[in-house]
Amino acid sequence: MPSSVVAAMKYFADAAKLRIIFVSGKVYDYLNVPENVYREMKTAGSKGTYLNTRIKGKYQYMEIK
């Protein structure tokens, strides 16, 4: 199901980095994210809710653009 917040996401297993591309065009990398968290987010009914409850505030991040 398409998300109204998350346009796309990519996981870099070698760096344990989760890249979130928002509908707004902003891009953030979340660091030290376990691969199972990425897999859970991929299958979540609401990507935005999952992001807000399981990722934001729990993992360090940096804005890419």
Name the residue range of residue 50's domain: 6-63
In a domain, 45, yes or no: yes
What pLDDT score was predicted for residue 47?
94
Q: How many domains does the chain have?
A: 1
pLDDT band at 2 (very low <50, low <70, confident <90, very high): low
Angle, vertex CA 53, rays to CA 49 and CA 56, nearest 5: 105
Residue 7 Cα distances to 18, 22, 31, 47, 49, angstroms: 14, 5, 19, 10, 14
Q: Can you give the pTM of this predicted structure?
A: 0.91
In a domain, 15, yes or no: yes
In a domain, 35, yes or no: yes
Tell me what the mean pLDDT of segment 36-60 comes to.
95
In a domain, 1, yes or no: no
Instruction: For residue range 10-27, list pLDDT tens digits in order.
Output: 999 999 999 999 999 999
